[in-house]
Amino acid sequence: IYNLAASVSDGSLSDSKDFTVTVTNDTSDDPTTSDYDGTFIGAGPIQGATVCIEVTPDTCTGAQFTTTTAQDGTFSLTIDSDATDIVIRGEGGFDPVTNLQFDDVYTFALSQPVTDQSFVVSPLSSMLYAKPSQTYETLKSRLGLDSNFMIRFDNPFSNIDSAIYNKAAVVNAQLLVLYKILMDLSPTFTVKNGQY
pTM above 0.85, yes or no: no
Any idea how long the chain is? 196
| Average pLDDT taken over every residue of the chain | 85
Determine what percent of the chain is predicted with pLDDT higher than 90.
42
The whole-number average pLDDT for the span 92-107 is: 83
Gap between the Cα atoms of 124 and 116, Å rounded: 21
Of 111, 106, 93, 114, the closest CA to residue 44 belongs to: 93
pLDDT digits (tens, 9 = 90+) for 145-164: 999 999 999 999 999 999 99
The answer, yes or no, to whether residue 177 has pLDDT greater than 70, is yes
Query: What pLDDT does 194 receive?
Result: 55
Which residues in 66-91 are b (16+ Cβ under 10 Å) and which e?
ebebeeebbbebebeeeeeebbbbbb
Contact call for residues 54 and 111 (beta carbons, < 8 A): no
Residue 83's pLDDT band (boundaries 50, 70, 90)?
low
The whole-number average pLDDT for the span 24-29 is: 68
Query: What pLDDT does 195 receive?
Result: 56
Query: CA 72 → CA 39, 78, 102, 193, distances in Å?
Result: 8, 19, 16, 28
The whole-number average pLDDT for the span 34-54 is: 91
